Amino acid sequence: MKQTVLKVSALVLFLGLASGCATTGLDEVKATADRAAADAAAAASAAEAARAAADRAAQAAAGAQSTADEALSAATEAQACCEANRESMERMFQKSMSK
Residue type, 28: E
The domain of 27 spans: 1-72
50-79 in b/e form (b: 16+ CB < 10 A) is eeeeeeeeeeeeeeeeeeeeeeeeeeeeee
Domain contains 12: yes
Predicted local distance difference test score (pLDDT) of residue 98: 82
Q: 77 in a domain, yes or no?
A: no
Q: Is residue 55 situated within a structural domain?
A: yes
Q: Looking at the 3D structure of the chain, how many domains does it have?
A: 1
Which tops the pLDDT comparison, 6 or 29? 29
Rounded CA separation 20/60 (Å): 60
Q: Is 92 a domain residue? A: no
Dump pLDDT digits (tens) for 49-81: 999 999 999 999 999 999 999 999 999 999 999
Helical ranges in 1-99 per DSSP H: 2-98
> Quick check: is 66 in a domain?
yes
Band of pLDDT at residue 15, cut at 50, 70 and 90: low
